[in-house]
Amino acid sequence: MSITAKSETPKVADAVAIRSWKMPILLGILSLFSVVVFIILGPSGTATFRISQDTDAWQVPDLVVPAKAVGALVSIIAVALTYLAWRQTRDSGKIAKWVITSFSVVFVIGVMVWIIGGTSTQNITLVGLFAGAMLITTPILFGAMSGVLSERAGVVNIAIEGQLLAGAFTAALVASITGNAYAGLIAAAVAGVLVSVLLALFSIKYVVNQIIVGVVLNVLVSGLTGFLFEKIMKTKVDGATIYNQPAHLPNLPIPLLSEIPIIGPTLFRQSIIGYFMLILVAALWFGLFRTRWGLRVRAVGEHPKAADTVGINVNRTRVINVLAGGAVAGIGGAYFTLVAVSSFSKDMTGGLGFIALAALIFGRWNPIGAALAALLFGVAGNLQSILSLAGTPIDGQFLAMLPYALTILAVSGFVGRSLAPAADGEPYIKE
Amino acid sequence: MANDHIDLVVESGQIHSLLGENGAGKSTLMNVLYGLYSPSSGQILVDDVPVSFSGPADAMAAGIGMVHQHFMLVPVFTVAENVALGAESTSFGGVLNLGDTRRKIREISAQFGFDVDPDALVEDLPVGVQQRVEIIKALVRNSKILILDEPTAVLTPQETDELMEIMGQLRDSGTSIVFISHKLREVKAISDTITVIRRGKVVGSAPPDTSTTELAAMMVGRAVNLTLNKADATPGAETFKVSNLTVMNDSGHRLLDNVSLSVSQGEILAIAGVQGNGQTELTQAVLGLHKHVLGSITLDGKELVGKSVSQVLESGVGFVPEDRQDDGLVGELSIAENLILDLYKKAPYSRGGTLNRSAIAQNSVEKVSEFDIRAQSPRDAAHTLSGGNQQKVVLARELSRPLKLFIASQPTRGVDVGSIEFLHKRIVAERDAGTPVVIVSTELDEVLELADRIAVLFAGRLMGIVPGKSSRALLGLMMAGLSAEEASEQMQSQKESGTTGETGEGVQL
């Protein structure tokens, strides 16, 4: 063998003719928005950020900033970054990552200062914002982890909403009957698994379109829990609806950790479900990317036939993952009735299961990414409810919409491509 | 029935070739041996011990490894992750320990001169290296028998030579190899024994010194004329010109880089190259199927770049796409309907917006007999036809209009030898009728058979245009990225140092 053929690809000429102007245009619009809203229409007072709650052991002093000056600074930086993005696009067709990242950070600061500076009452605390966000974040996060489990193995899970709802209902019923919240928690996991059994049966065994199965399951669970809610939970015994008075899961603050400003009240003053959530995110990440189990699951989701040819049972892996996902989402559903509120009501999950799907996609099918996306959605949701009480320059509903608009941008490739596992949604049929 | 009472004995330390046409049942047989399909009767013995496989895991445990035609590698995994998959070494609690796998990959890599980096992402590797990863996968699992399913289909001639050398080394180290192929030349060059399969049955065995025509006759079941009798081309005016054509993907990466060529009336230009070096983009650009095209393509002086597909077809371009099942035919429609897919809007097939059924039927009867399409009835769905007959339908449709340019991509891929003969004759007939013809093919045999001139593409760039009767070694060098001048210089210098026998010509008869 003596031929020395050129095996490396020749350097492709650098001149790039295709440029995407989407990003500079988007940044331009946002910059214009900040100039108009933060400077011209901006509040003239100061914005006070309260870091600590009154009950905290360590008191961190409030951060007070002049709203208009910060708004002006933000606008100038935004315009400068937009110009930089435009130049980079013109010269190389690519925008450096740090430009977009710093733009986002600066813009978010601008929005916060504008909103808080413009509120009439000055009692918004950062810690209240985050701690309250957990009410929304927790079910989204559990739903997203259910999605990670099944979609990483290649089964699209649209039934998260149904799994959450089944968990919420069953937890309320069982905890009411037994008087034990932990029994309710376990029952919720079982209910989530049952929904998953149907999903697995139809989408894996009978190869029905996975999206259709998921949608149908959501409708089925909604109808079933609605029916049982009317027939069982509304039944009054001695004037009380005894089947809809679940015992509550107690809050278990962790000593010391719960005293850390902001993080403490947000993460370490939770019920057992909250702690399980933290462990779950870490465990799923480690499991998926560092263990044999994860390698096999990802192989099944990316290239099932390759997995099959090295002796991995593709469909068994998928079934196990879908069932595990059901248990996780069921526990997330239990959070509604055992922690967040004290009784079940019809369709109480209110679409959070679908938002969990958005978090899954925004987080790029990565447990940690999905968890951060769930946190973002939770904060935005909570901000909206706080602001509607506090009286702000813009409508709270509009703010609540922003994260989802962001998700659409993320999914459509504005913020880099979001790639699903290659075989996600494709049934594996052995020839 | 894909396999019918097949008996096959593979001796240890031998290269046993399985020769047969596409669809003869070679791959089915090997998938049975690998536990992917289960046989309805018969048994498999390894070292005289009967074994039964319920899945690939059992086959691997029995020492059988397989390199599939379409690689079974996860593109987003590293080499080490792919090799480890299914046989991972782990520390406590199932935590992956890839260090062990990396070490084994480096060992095997050093032993056979593979040059594979365990931490490279598989999707970034060239096809030839991916194939080595597949071989490493089998060797790590201590395979005694290695099945290679059409391994040379995706390789350049040089890569094929290297693979043959690797196969020789493996044989010498005691591994038995089953080499599945339909390429006579390769089978003769490397085998210790040849078994020929036709229509799911073993039709015989042959020693490697059997003549090519004899092997071909066994494979097809009748005497085949392997060489096409075609007269020399009499090129007329240059009517089809491509100048400075650049095609880019959405992110601006050049898939085709500044390619210029021209084709005369009555001439066949073959575009050679390994799969994925810009051939698809070139045909897409001509047809108006690609978004980002710079440069110019003219037919009879009229510009085609920027025109819609229907305008391009209207200007007299006939096109046989490389994937006939996805792009060439609508499988669920009947043969008759597929034959008028391009003309359904026009008289006589369209009558005031409705289809003229009798004209369509009339046309199908004519075309079925003219192109020897073997079908029960023209009303059958197109997907019920064999590959060769499907291709005849596509060709019949595309040649039914008066053409000013005919382009055929992979005209005989997956087509039986009998149909190949026919298809090649029709293509040459179109040339002789004075149409400029462009053939895109990754099969060097086909290129050499048909071409009056050969253009070689590598990484989207034109390596040069050489005469139709150029040597395989020269084309191989060009397919590996040398320009025509560099390649002929290298050939020259090797001839002078007297080493030609071991190089590109190594697999020649």
Give pLDDT tens digits for B387-430: 888 999 999 999 988 899 999 999 988 777 778 888 999 999 99
What whole-number distance in Å separates Cα of residue B490 and Cα of residue B474? 9
* Poorest-pLDDT segment among A100-104, A212-216, B236-240, B245-249: A100-104
The per-residue pLDDT for A263 is 80
Q: How many CA atoms lie within 13 A of B419 on its CB side?
A: 22
Is the ipTM higher than 0.85? The answer is no
* Pairwise CB contact (< 8 Å): A2 & B503: yes
Q: How far is A418 from chain B (nearest CA, A)?
A: 14
Q: What is the DSSP string of A10-47?
A: PPPPS-------HHHHHHHHHHHHHIIIIIIS--SSEE
- In the predicted structure, residue A419 carries a pLDDT above the cut 50: yes
What whole-number distance in Å separates Cα of residue B273 and Cα of residue B279? 8
The two counts, helices (H) then strands (E), for chain B are 17, 22
Query: Average of pLDDT values for A75-87?
Result: 92
A431 to chain B, any CB pair closer than 8 A? The answer is yes
CB neighbours of residue B100 within 10 Å: 15
pLDDT in tens, A228-241: 999 999 888 888 88
Reported confidence tier of residue A14, pLDDT bands at 50, 70, 90: very low
The per-residue pLDDT for A45 is 77
Q: Identify all chain B residues contacting A9, using CB atoms and an 8 Å cutoff.
A: 459, 481
Domains of chain A, by residue range, sit at 17-118, 130-359
3-class DSSP assignment, residue B316:
coil
Q: Are B270 and B453 in contact (CB under 8 A)?
A: yes
Judge residue A54's burial from the number of C-beta atoms within 10 Å of its C-beta, 0-12 exposed, 13-18 middle, 19 or more buried.
exposed
The per-residue pLDDT for B427 is 93
Query: Average of pLDDT values for B314-333?
Result: 89
Query: Which residue type occupies A374?
Result: A
Q: How far is B443 from chain A (nearest CA, A)?
A: 20
Higher pLDDT, B243 or A132: B243
* pTM for the full predicted model: 0.81
Reported confidence tier of residue A417, pLDDT bands at 50, 70, 90: low
Q: Are B17 and B187 in contact (CB under 8 A)?
A: yes
The per-residue pLDDT for A402 is 72
The per-residue pLDDT for A282 is 97
* Poorest-pLDDT segment among A262-266, B221-225, B427-431: B221-225
Alpha-carbon distance values, B221 to B18, B21, B171, B416 (Å):
16, 11, 31, 11
* Poorest-pLDDT segment among B185-189, B296-300, B414-418: B414-418
Higher pLDDT, B450 or A403: B450
pLDDT in tens, B461-495: 999 999 998 998 899 899 988 999 999 998 888 87
DSSP code, position B25: S
Q: Identify all chain A residues contacting B503, using CB atoms and an 8 Å cutoff.
A: 1-3
What whole-number distance in Å separates Cα of residue A134 and Cα of residue A335? 11
- In the predicted structure, residue A76 carries a pLDDT above the cut 90: yes
A contact test, residue of B73, B85, B132 with most A CBs within 10 A: B85
Q: Are A362 and A140 in contact (CB under 8 A)?
A: no
User: C-alpha angle with apex B360: B355 to B361, nearest 5 degrees?
Assistant: 130
A contact test, residue of B71, B74, B256 with most A CBs within 10 A: B74
> Number of CB pairs < 8 Å for A and B?
132
pLDDT in tens, A136-162: 999 999 999 999 999 999 999 999 999
Pairing state of beta strands B44-46 and B302-303?
unpaired
> A404-413, B154-163, B199-208 — which one is most confidently predicted on average?
B199-208
* Poorest-pLDDT segment among A9-23, A345-359, B317-331: A9-23
The per-residue pLDDT for B498 is 57
Of A12, A309, A312, the CB nearest to B257: A12
Helix (H) or strand (E) holding A92: helix A67-92
What whole-number distance in Å separates Cα of residue A424 and Cα of residue B337? 35
* Pairwise CB contact (< 8 Å): B77 & A422: no
Query: Average of pLDDT values for B159-175?
Result: 90
Higher pLDDT, A89 or A13: A89
Higher pLDDT, A63 or A3: A63
* Pairwise CB contact (< 8 Å): B504 & A3: yes
Q: Are A362 and A415 in contact (CB under 8 A)?
A: no
* Pairwise CB contact (< 8 Å): A309 & B482: no
Whether residue B348 has a cis bond before it, omega within 30° of 0? yes
Reported confidence tier of residue B434, pLDDT bands at 50, 70, 90: very high
Question: What is the percent of chain A with per-residue pLDDT over 70, rounded to a whole number?
Answer: 87
Of A6, A17, A307, the CB nearest to B480: A6
Nearest residue to B15 (alpha-carbon basis) of B151, B147, B206, B203: B147
Judge residue B11's burial from the number of C-beta atoms within 10 Å of its C-beta, 0-12 exposed, 13-18 middle, 19 or more buried.
exposed
* Poorest-pLDDT segment among A46-60, B257-271, B435-449: A46-60
Q: How many CA atoms lie within 13 A of B109 on its CB side?
A: 17
Higher pLDDT, A381 or A340: A340
- In the predicted structure, residue A394 carries a pLDDT above the cut 90: no
The per-residue pLDDT for A418 is 60
- In the predicted structure, residue A5 carries a pLDDT above the cut 60: no
3-class DSSP assignment, residue A191:
helix
- In the predicted structure, residue A16 carries a pLDDT above the cut 50: no
- CA dihedral of residues A81, A86, A88, A93 (deg, nearest 10): 140
Higher pLDDT, A403 or B131: B131
A2 to chain B, any CB pair closer than 8 A? The answer is yes
Of A2, A9, A290, the CB nearest to B96: A290
Nearest residue to A359 (alpha-carbon basis) of A337, A378, A332: A378
The per-residue pLDDT for A177 is 94
pLDDT, chain B, mean: 87
The per-residue pLDDT for B299 is 93
Alpha-carbon distance values, B478 to A12, B218, B274 (Å):
18, 34, 10
- In the predicted structure, residue B357 carries a pLDDT above the cut 70: yes
Nearest residue to A426 (alpha-carbon basis) of A216, A144, A146, A153: A153
Helix (H) or strand (E) holding B318: strand B317-320
- In the predicted structure, residue A9 carries a pLDDT above the cut 60: no
B contact test, residue of A89, A295, A305 with most B CBs within 10 A: A295
Q: Identify all chain A residues contacting B74, using CB atoms and an 8 Å cutoff.
A: 298-299, 302-303, 306-307
Reported confidence tier of residue B249, pLDDT bands at 50, 70, 90: confident
The per-residue pLDDT for B256 is 92
